[in-house]
Amino acid sequence: MKRLHLFVLRTFLGPFFMTFFICVFVLLMQFLWKYIDDMVGKGLEWGIVAELLLYASFALIPMAFPLAMLLASIMTFGNLGENYELVAIKASGISLFKIMRPLIVVALALTMFAFYFSNNILPKTNLKFGALLVSVKQQKPEMVISEGVFTNEIDGYSIKVDRKASKGNMMYGLMIYNHTKNSGNANVTVADSGFMKISEDKKYMIMTLFNGQSATNTKPNQRGKKRTFPFRRERFSKQTITIPLEGFDFQRTDENRLRNAYKMMNLTQLEHREDSMYSDYHVRVRRFAASMNYPNPLTQMVLNQTQTVDSLKKETHFTPDTLVKFDEVYHTLDDHIQNEVINMAIGQARTNHQTINQNLHELYNQKKSINKLTMEKHKKFTWSIACFIFFFIGAPLGAIIRKGGLGMPVVVSILMFITYYMVSITGEKFAREDMWVMANGMWFSTYIFLPLGIFLTYKSANDSALLNLETYQLKLKRLFGFLFKSKDKKDKS
């Protein structure tokens, strides 16, 4: 039995590590497509880019773990089924659960490690990634100049380009204002064409201009009515301008500015932050409810109800006022008093409507911020448990498919993972919008796929014909064969 367990472990670990790194690489390519515009043209060193990709890959690991577990388990049991090793093992009296026993231990260990990683390591790497990404976005572009508009990215200069060459770095129709002396538009240079490049030490921008002229205003030579404003004009066929790039060095953002973001917190910090935000939210809801115009008895009832309110959507039932019969009292009043009562009620309704519009959006945004904290708490558990669930989905599917390699297992894994991800996103959306209870929304995918994994494992362990693909293939052949035979009989008759 030990040799069998070691054999199953060796068969599983190889595909797992291979698929894990493949999944991280594929997800990292998606990250590059998303943030490529923020990194191009910033003059970043390779070390900064590599550090950014490293932190980004850490953020993708919680999603790569379940996908790698699903794909590796399908490949493992698919290889065993394709080579008839699984049939031979079962024929010797060993059940599927005994074959899966060492991998169940691995799945449990991976689930616990995934939770530890999400709770202790991932918040720190997210903090470093967020600070570095903000620093990259704030980095001044060195050679990104748009056509037809003035670019003021370089301190002391305003540059406009009419057209940029589709290939190469040539630009046409350049106009450059020199503001380094703080004398307004006193120095301007225009050129038919030119190009720019950064010096090797990243400290200067070298501009080479062709066929242009520069004009510089000089100081007035007289005062009074005879005062004139002379200027100097110079024509050139080629001119080189060296511009110092002060302040273009890469500056890292302070990480303390991002520590309160929900992705940068562990479970304890999230709970503490959530309690603080809920307390503030309850105070705001109570203040909002008290700012409405109610009759005095109803105001006290509202304040009593809002002491423990958790959401604006909570249904509150008030006891109707049975001491005063409004219709009977209203009809006994004079006409002008009735009109005053109606006008007063309309005025209070309009005031309440205005108060609701002013506060509802603010309260809604604050509740969504609280929901993000709560969702992050649940994600640390749901994505970890997904590793365990996907093993009990992948192992029986591999035994059913009986195909190894990267063909059919990859297709089945991607379809299954996309389905899980779509269901998970749907539940998160309903939970974030307070349409569902937070626990139900965040664990919605688990509610669906955990019973599916148990069902597939049970049927596969009992060799049920329900999950035997050959059974359905045989039935289809018989069905089509019967139809063709019926057609042949009609043709002969």
Residue-wise pLDDT tens digits, 350-405: 887 877 887 887 888 888 888 989 999 999 999 899 999 999 999 888 888 777 77
Answer yes or no: is 290 within a domain.
yes
Answer yes or no: is 144 within a domain.
no
- What pLDDT score does 489 carry? 55
In this structure, the answer to whether residues 362 and 387 fall within a common structural domain is no
In this structure, the answer to whether residues 135 and 160 fall within a common structural domain is no
Q: How many domains does the chain have?
A: 3
Q: Among 371, 396, 414, identify where a domain stops.
A: 371
Answer yes or no: is 145 within a domain.
no
Kindly report the backbone phi and psi dihedral angles of residue 85, in degrees, each rounded to the nearest multiple of 5, phi listed first: -75, -35
- What pLDDT score does 207 carry? 85
Q: If you search the block for the tokens 């720190």, which residue do you land on?
A: 124
pLDDT-wise least confident of 140-144, 373-377, 411-415, 436-440:
140-144
Neighbouring C-alpha atoms within 13 Å toward the C-beta of 305? 17
- What residue spans of 294-334 are helical by DSSP H? 296-305, 326-331
- What pLDDT score does 309 carry? 46
In this structure, the answer to whether residues 108 and 215 fall within a common structural domain is no
In this structure, the answer to whether residues 425 and 324 fall within a common structural domain is no
Q: How confident is the model at residue 433 (pLDDT cuts 50, 70, 90)?
A: confident
Q: Element (H or E) spanning 210, and its range?
A: strand 204-217
Report d(CA 273, CA 377) in Å as an integer.
11
Report d(CA 234, CA 329) in Å as an integer.
94
In this structure, the answer to whether residues 124 and 25 fall within a common structural domain is yes
Residue 41's closest CA among 191, 195, 248, 210? 248
In this structure, the answer to whether residues 190 and 309 fall within a common structural domain is no
Q: From residue 289, how far is each of 110, 329, 358, 364, 424 by CA, in Å?
A: 48, 28, 12, 14, 35
Q: How confident is the model at residue 313 (pLDDT cuts 50, 70, 90)?
A: very low
pTM exceeding the 0.75 threshold for the entire prediction? no
CA angle in degrees (0–180, nearest 5) for 17-20-25: 130
Neighbours of 148 (CB within 10 A): 9
In this structure, the answer to whether residues 478 and 460 fall within a common structural domain is yes
Answer yes or no: is 489 within a domain.
no
Domain that holds residue 166: 150-244
pLDDT-wise least confident of 90-104, 332-346, 389-403:
332-346
- How many residues would you count in the chain? 493
Q: How confident is the model at residue 197 (pLDDT cuts 50, 70, 90)?
A: confident
The partner residues of 163 in beta bridges, in order of sequence, read 172
In this structure, the answer to whether residues 356 and 378 fall within a common structural domain is no
Q: Please report, in angstroms and rounded to a whole number, the separation of the first and last CA atoms in the chain.
A: 64
In this structure, the answer to whether residues 464 and 405 fall within a common structural domain is yes
